[in-house]
Protein backbone atom coordinates (compact mmCIF):
# COMPACT_ATOMS: atom_id res chain seq x y z
CA UNK A 1 0.00 0.00 0.00
CA UNK A 2 2.80 2.39 0.86
CA UNK A 3 4.50 1.57 -2.44
CA UNK A 4 1.30 2.24 -4.46
CA UNK A 5 0.72 5.52 -2.61
CA UNK A 6 4.31 6.58 -3.31
CA UNK A 7 3.99 5.85 -7.02
CA UNK A 8 0.69 7.76 -7.18
CA UNK A 9 2.15 10.89 -5.60
CA UNK A 10 5.26 10.64 -7.82
CA UNK A 11 3.13 10.56 -11.00
CA UNK A 12 0.97 13.39 -9.71
CA UNK A 13 4.08 15.49 -8.99
CA UNK A 14 5.48 14.90 -12.47
CA UNK A 15 2.19 15.86 -14.13
CA UNK A 16 1.94 18.99 -12.02
CA UNK A 17 5.50 20.05 -12.81
CA UNK A 18 5.02 19.30 -16.52
CA UNK A 19 1.87 21.39 -16.68
CA UNK A 20 3.59 24.25 -14.89
CA UNK A 21 6.65 24.00 -17.17
CA UNK A 22 4.39 23.95 -20.25
CA UNK A 23 2.59 27.10 -19.14
CA UNK A 24 5.79 28.92 -18.31
CA UNK A 25 7.44 27.88 -21.57
CA UNK A 26 4.57 29.23 -23.67
CA UNK A 27 4.65 32.47 -21.75
CA UNK A 28 8.39 32.57 -22.33
CA UNK A 29 7.80 32.20 -26.06
CA UNK A 30 5.43 35.20 -26.03
CA UNK A 31 7.75 37.21 -23.82
CA UNK A 32 10.79 36.42 -25.98
CA UNK A 33 8.86 37.31 -29.13
CA UNK A 34 7.98 40.71 -27.66
CA UNK A 35 11.62 41.27 -26.71
CA UNK A 36 12.68 40.45 -30.24
CA UNK A 37 10.06 42.78 -31.66
CA UNK A 38 11.33 45.61 -29.46
CA UNK A 39 14.93 45.01 -30.52
CA UNK A 40 13.80 45.12 -34.15
CA UNK A 41 11.90 48.34 -33.49
CA UNK A 42 15.02 49.85 -31.94
CA UNK A 43 17.10 48.85 -34.96
CA UNK A 44 19.15 46.19 -33.18
CA UNK A 45 18.61 43.58 -35.86
CA UNK A 46 21.20 41.10 -34.62
CA UNK A 47 19.63 40.84 -31.17
CA UNK A 48 16.15 40.75 -32.66
CA UNK A 49 17.12 37.88 -34.95
CA UNK A 50 18.63 36.00 -32.00
CA UNK A 51 15.46 36.44 -29.96
CA UNK A 52 13.23 35.19 -32.76
CA UNK A 53 15.36 32.08 -33.08
CA UNK A 54 14.86 31.61 -29.34
CA UNK A 55 11.10 31.84 -29.91
CA UNK A 56 11.32 29.05 -32.47
CA UNK A 57 13.33 26.88 -30.10
CA UNK A 58 10.90 27.44 -27.22
CA UNK A 59 7.88 26.91 -29.47
CA UNK A 60 9.18 23.57 -30.67
CA UNK A 61 9.35 22.43 -27.03
CA UNK A 62 5.82 23.66 -26.39
CA UNK A 63 4.36 21.90 -29.41
CA UNK A 64 1.28 22.57 -31.49
CA UNK A 65 -0.14 25.29 -29.22
CA UNK A 66 2.85 27.53 -30.05
CA UNK A 67 2.73 27.07 -33.83
CA UNK A 68 1.25 30.49 -34.47
CA UNK A 69 3.87 32.43 -32.54
CA UNK A 70 6.58 30.20 -34.00
CA UNK A 71 5.37 31.14 -37.51
CA UNK A 72 5.37 34.83 -36.59
CA UNK A 73 8.98 34.54 -35.43
CA UNK A 74 9.99 32.72 -38.59
CA UNK A 75 8.40 35.47 -40.69
CA UNK A 76 10.59 38.10 -39.03
CA UNK A 77 13.98 36.43 -39.49
CA UNK A 78 14.61 36.69 -43.29
CA UNK A 79 13.94 40.44 -43.45
CA UNK A 80 16.10 41.00 -40.37
CA UNK A 81 18.96 39.09 -41.95
CA UNK A 82 18.49 41.11 -45.15
CA UNK A 83 18.84 44.32 -43.13
CA UNK A 84 21.91 42.94 -41.36
CA UNK A 85 23.46 42.14 -44.74
CA UNK A 86 22.62 45.62 -46.03
CA UNK A 87 24.35 47.23 -43.06
CA UNK A 88 27.45 45.12 -43.66
CA UNK A 89 27.50 46.25 -47.29
CA UNK A 90 27.13 49.90 -46.27
CA UNK A 91 30.16 49.34 -44.08
CA UNK A 92 32.04 48.50 -47.31
CA UNK A 93 32.67 44.91 -46.25
CA UNK A 94 31.77 43.29 -49.58
CA UNK A 95 32.99 39.75 -48.73
CA UNK A 96 31.07 39.94 -45.46
CA UNK A 97 28.00 41.18 -47.29
CA UNK A 98 28.16 38.24 -49.69
CA UNK A 99 28.13 35.83 -46.74
CA UNK A 100 25.30 37.75 -45.05
CA UNK A 101 23.08 37.98 -48.15
CA UNK A 102 23.71 34.30 -48.85
CA UNK A 103 22.45 33.56 -45.34
CA UNK A 104 19.44 35.81 -45.97
CA UNK A 105 18.60 33.87 -49.12
CA UNK A 106 18.97 30.56 -47.28
CA UNK A 107 16.79 31.64 -44.35
CA UNK A 108 14.19 33.11 -46.69
CA UNK A 109 14.02 29.85 -48.61
CA UNK A 110 13.76 27.89 -45.36
CA UNK A 111 10.98 30.06 -43.92
CA UNK A 112 9.11 30.62 -47.20
CA UNK A 113 9.81 34.32 -47.82
CA UNK A 114 10.05 34.45 -51.61
CA UNK A 115 10.44 38.21 -51.72
CA UNK A 116 13.56 38.27 -49.51
CA UNK A 117 14.89 35.13 -51.19
CA UNK A 118 14.68 36.68 -54.66
CA UNK A 119 16.03 40.04 -53.52
CA UNK A 120 18.99 38.43 -51.78
CA UNK A 121 19.77 36.19 -54.72
CA UNK A 122 19.60 39.25 -56.96
CA UNK A 123 22.13 41.16 -54.86
CA UNK A 124 24.78 38.45 -54.49
CA UNK A 125 25.98 38.35 -58.15
CA UNK A 126 26.32 42.15 -58.09
CA UNK A 127 28.51 41.90 -55.00
CA UNK A 128 30.79 39.38 -56.70
CA UNK A 129 30.91 41.78 -59.66
CA UNK A 130 31.87 44.64 -57.33
CA UNK A 131 34.63 42.53 -55.85
CA UNK A 132 35.86 41.72 -59.34
CA UNK A 133 36.06 45.41 -60.19
CA UNK A 134 38.02 46.06 -57.01
CA UNK A 135 40.50 43.30 -57.84
CA UNK A 136 40.79 44.60 -61.41
CA UNK A 137 41.73 48.09 -60.17
CA UNK A 138 44.45 46.47 -58.09
CA UNK A 139 45.51 44.43 -61.14
CA UNK A 140 44.87 41.22 -59.23
CA UNK A 141 43.68 39.59 -62.40
CA UNK A 142 43.21 36.01 -61.22
CA UNK A 143 41.12 37.13 -58.25
CA UNK A 144 39.09 39.37 -60.56
CA UNK A 145 38.41 36.43 -62.87
CA UNK A 146 37.28 34.31 -59.93
CA UNK A 147 34.87 37.00 -58.75
CA UNK A 148 33.36 37.60 -62.19
CA UNK A 149 32.99 33.86 -62.71
CA UNK A 150 31.18 33.63 -59.36
CA UNK A 151 28.79 36.35 -60.53
CA UNK A 152 28.12 34.48 -63.77
CA UNK A 153 27.59 31.19 -61.93
CA UNK A 154 24.71 32.86 -60.09
CA UNK A 155 23.43 34.87 -63.08
CA UNK A 156 24.21 33.33 -66.45
CA UNK A 157 22.98 36.46 -68.26
CA UNK A 158 25.15 38.94 -66.38
CA UNK A 159 26.35 40.87 -69.44
CA UNK A 160 28.59 43.25 -67.48
CA UNK A 161 30.50 40.37 -65.87
CA UNK A 162 31.21 38.85 -69.29
CA UNK A 163 32.38 42.25 -70.54
CA UNK A 164 34.71 42.67 -67.56
CA UNK A 165 36.12 39.19 -68.12
CA UNK A 166 36.87 40.26 -71.68
CA UNK A 167 38.82 43.23 -70.32
CA UNK A 168 40.73 41.06 -67.84
CA UNK A 169 41.83 38.61 -70.51
CA UNK A 170 42.75 41.55 -72.73
CA UNK A 171 45.06 42.72 -69.94
CA UNK A 172 46.46 39.20 -69.72
CA UNK A 173 47.09 39.38 -73.49
CA UNK A 174 44.89 36.34 -74.13
CA UNK A 175 43.08 37.61 -77.22
CA UNK A 176 40.96 34.57 -78.06
CA UNK A 177 39.71 34.25 -74.49
CA UNK A 178 39.00 37.96 -74.40
CA UNK A 179 37.00 37.81 -77.63
CA UNK A 180 35.05 34.83 -76.29
CA UNK A 181 33.75 36.90 -73.37
CA UNK A 182 33.18 40.04 -75.44
CA UNK A 183 31.14 37.89 -77.85
CA UNK A 184 29.04 36.58 -74.97
CA UNK A 185 28.46 40.11 -73.71
CA UNK A 186 27.35 41.15 -77.20
CA UNK A 187 25.04 38.15 -77.50
CA UNK A 188 23.33 38.88 -74.18
CA UNK A 189 23.16 42.61 -74.87
CA UNK A 190 21.43 42.09 -78.19
CA UNK A 191 19.10 39.41 -76.80
CA UNK A 192 17.99 41.75 -74.01
CA UNK A 193 17.75 44.69 -76.42
CA UNK A 194 20.52 46.48 -74.52
CA UNK A 195 22.22 47.91 -77.58
CA UNK A 196 24.43 50.22 -75.54
CA UNK A 197 25.98 47.28 -73.70
CA UNK A 198 26.40 45.34 -76.93
CA UNK A 199 28.12 48.27 -78.66
CA UNK A 200 30.43 48.73 -75.69
CA UNK A 201 31.64 45.14 -76.05
CA UNK A 202 31.89 45.48 -79.83
CA UNK A 203 34.03 48.60 -79.48
CA UNK A 204 36.31 46.91 -76.96
CA UNK A 205 36.81 43.90 -79.23
CA UNK A 206 37.44 46.12 -82.25
CA UNK A 207 39.97 48.28 -80.43
CA UNK A 208 41.88 45.28 -79.11
CA UNK A 209 42.15 43.80 -82.61
CA UNK A 210 43.10 47.17 -84.07
CA UNK A 211 45.96 47.68 -81.60
CA UNK A 212 47.29 44.19 -82.27
CA UNK A 213 47.02 44.74 -86.03
CA UNK A 214 49.04 47.98 -85.84
CA UNK A 215 51.79 46.13 -83.97
CA UNK A 216 51.79 43.44 -86.63
CA UNK A 217 52.10 46.07 -89.37
CA UNK A 218 54.99 47.72 -87.53
CA UNK A 219 56.66 44.30 -87.37
CA UNK A 220 56.06 43.89 -91.12
CA UNK A 221 53.70 40.96 -90.55
CA UNK A 222 51.20 42.38 -93.00
CA UNK A 223 49.14 39.24 -93.58
CA UNK A 224 48.63 38.82 -89.84
CA UNK A 225 47.66 42.48 -89.57
CA UNK A 226 45.12 42.13 -92.37
CA UNK A 227 43.61 39.03 -90.73
CA UNK A 228 43.17 40.90 -87.45
CA UNK A 229 41.69 43.94 -89.17
CA UNK A 230 39.17 41.81 -91.01
CA UNK A 231 38.11 40.35 -87.67
CA UNK A 232 37.76 43.89 -86.37
CA UNK A 233 35.34 44.69 -89.21
CA UNK A 234 33.05 41.95 -87.88
CA UNK A 235 32.65 44.04 -84.73
CA UNK A 236 32.43 47.43 -86.46
CA UNK A 237 31.98 47.71 -90.21
CA UNK A 238 31.91 51.51 -90.05
CA UNK A 239 35.27 52.10 -88.39
CA UNK A 240 37.34 54.62 -90.31
CA UNK A 241 40.45 53.58 -88.38
CA UNK A 242 40.12 49.92 -89.30
CA UNK A 243 39.69 50.71 -93.00
CA UNK A 244 42.59 53.17 -92.85
CA UNK A 245 44.85 50.49 -91.36
CA UNK A 246 43.74 48.04 -94.03
CA UNK A 247 44.68 50.57 -96.70
CA UNK A 248 48.05 51.01 -95.01
CA UNK A 249 48.68 47.25 -94.82
CA UNK A 250 47.74 46.69 -98.46
CA UNK A 251 49.96 49.58 -99.51
CA UNK A 252 52.82 47.87 -97.68
CA UNK A 253 52.08 44.76 -99.72
CA UNK A 254 51.77 46.87 -102.90
CA UNK A 255 48.22 45.63 -103.48
CA UNK A 256 47.05 49.01 -104.68
CA UNK A 257 43.46 48.25 -105.71
CA UNK A 258 42.57 47.05 -102.21
CA UNK A 259 44.49 49.92 -100.65
CA UNK A 260 42.43 52.37 -102.72
CA UNK A 261 39.20 50.56 -101.86
CA UNK A 262 39.80 50.65 -98.13
CA UNK A 263 41.13 54.22 -98.13
CA UNK A 264 37.91 55.35 -99.78
CA UNK A 265 35.87 53.45 -97.18
CA UNK A 266 37.88 55.11 -94.44
CA UNK A 267 37.10 58.52 -95.93
CA UNK A 268 33.43 57.55 -96.11
CA UNK A 269 33.22 56.82 -92.39
CA UNK A 270 35.69 59.38 -91.00
CA UNK A 271 33.70 61.98 -89.06
CA UNK A 272 36.61 64.30 -88.25
CA UNK A 273 37.92 67.34 -90.07
CA UNK A 274 40.72 67.82 -92.60
CA UNK A 275 43.48 67.06 -90.11
CA UNK A 276 41.82 63.75 -89.13
CA UNK A 277 41.30 62.82 -92.78
CA UNK A 278 44.83 63.77 -93.85
CA UNK A 279 46.37 60.38 -93.00
CA UNK A 280 43.72 58.60 -95.08
CA UNK A 281 44.28 60.89 -98.07
CA UNK A 282 47.99 60.23 -97.74
CA UNK A 283 47.48 56.43 -97.99
CA UNK A 284 45.16 56.97 -100.93
CA UNK A 285 47.72 59.18 -102.63
CA UNK A 286 50.44 56.62 -101.99
CA UNK A 287 48.28 53.85 -103.48
CA UNK A 288 47.62 55.90 -106.62
CA UNK A 289 51.34 56.68 -106.84
CA UNK A 290 52.18 52.94 -106.73
CA UNK A 291 49.48 52.30 -109.32
CA UNK A 292 50.99 54.94 -111.61
CA UNK A 293 48.00 57.28 -111.56
CA UNK A 294 49.81 60.60 -111.12
CA UNK A 295 46.83 62.95 -111.35
CA UNK A 296 44.80 61.00 -108.77
CA UNK A 297 47.87 60.76 -106.52
CA UNK A 298 48.48 64.52 -106.74
CA UNK A 299 44.84 65.27 -105.87
CA UNK A 300 44.99 62.92 -102.87
CA UNK A 301 48.29 64.30 -101.59
CA UNK A 302 46.92 67.82 -101.86
CA UNK A 303 44.06 66.79 -99.56
CA UNK A 304 46.62 65.16 -97.24
CA UNK A 305 48.68 68.32 -96.76
CA UNK A 306 47.33 69.15 -93.29
CA UNK A 307 48.66 68.72 -89.77
CA UNK A 308 51.48 66.23 -89.33
CA UNK A 309 51.09 65.02 -92.93
CA UNK A 310 51.58 68.47 -94.46
CA UNK A 311 55.34 68.17 -94.91
CA UNK A 312 55.41 64.62 -96.31
CA UNK A 313 52.46 65.26 -98.63
CA UNK A 314 54.07 68.43 -100.02
CA UNK A 315 57.32 66.51 -100.49
CA UNK A 316 55.49 63.90 -102.56
CA UNK A 317 53.83 66.58 -104.70
CA UNK A 318 56.93 68.73 -105.20
CA UNK A 319 59.80 66.23 -105.44
CA UNK A 320 58.39 62.77 -106.11
CA UNK A 321 55.47 63.37 -108.45
CA UNK A 322 56.27 66.98 -109.45
CA UNK A 323 52.54 67.62 -109.51
CA UNK A 324 52.70 71.26 -110.74
CA UNK A 325 54.84 70.42 -113.75
CA UNK A 326 53.23 69.65 -117.05
pTM here is 0.88
pLDDT digits (tens, 9 = 90+) for 223-272: 999 999 999 999 999 999 999 999 999 999 999 999 999 999 999 999 99
Q: Is the pLDDT of residue 284 over 50?
A: yes
Q: Is the pLDDT of residue 9 over 50?
A: no
Query: Quick one: pLDDT at residue 326?
Result: 53
CA distance 209 to 170: 10
Task: Calculate the alpha carbon distances from 152 to 17, 63, 246, 253 in Å.
Answer: 58, 44, 37, 44
Helix axes 240-252, 222-235, angle to 10 degrees: 160
Q: Is the pLDDT of residue 43 over 80?
A: yes
Q: Is the pLDDT of residue 211 over 50?
A: yes
Task: Calculate the average pLDDT of the chain.
Answer: 93
Q: Is the pLDDT of residue 12 over 90?
A: no
Query: Quick one: pLDDT at residue 300?
Result: 98
Query: Quick one: pLDDT at residue 28?
Result: 93
Q: How confident is the model at residue 24 (pLDDT cuts 50, 70, 90)?
A: low
Q: Which runs of consecutive H residues, i.e. helices, occur in the chain?
A: 2-41, 45-62, 67-90, 94-111, 114-137, 141-154, 159-171, 175-191, 195-218, 222-235, 240-252, 256-269, 274-291, 294-304, 310-315
pLDDT digits (tens, 9 = 90+) for 291-318: 999 999 999 999 999 999 999 999 999 9
pLDDT digits (tens, 9 = 90+) for 105-154: 999 999 999 999 999 999 999 999 999 999 999 999 999 999 999 999 99
Amino acid sequence: MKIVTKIFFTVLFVLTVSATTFAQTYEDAVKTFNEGYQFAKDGDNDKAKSKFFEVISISEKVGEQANEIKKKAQDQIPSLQYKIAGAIYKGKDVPGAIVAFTEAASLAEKFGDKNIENRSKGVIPKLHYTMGNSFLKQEKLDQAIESYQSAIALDANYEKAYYQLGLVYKMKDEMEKSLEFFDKAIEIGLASNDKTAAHEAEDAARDMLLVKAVKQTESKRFDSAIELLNKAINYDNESANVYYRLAEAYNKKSITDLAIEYANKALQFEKGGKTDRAKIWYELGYAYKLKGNKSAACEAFEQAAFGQFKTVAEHEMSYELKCKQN
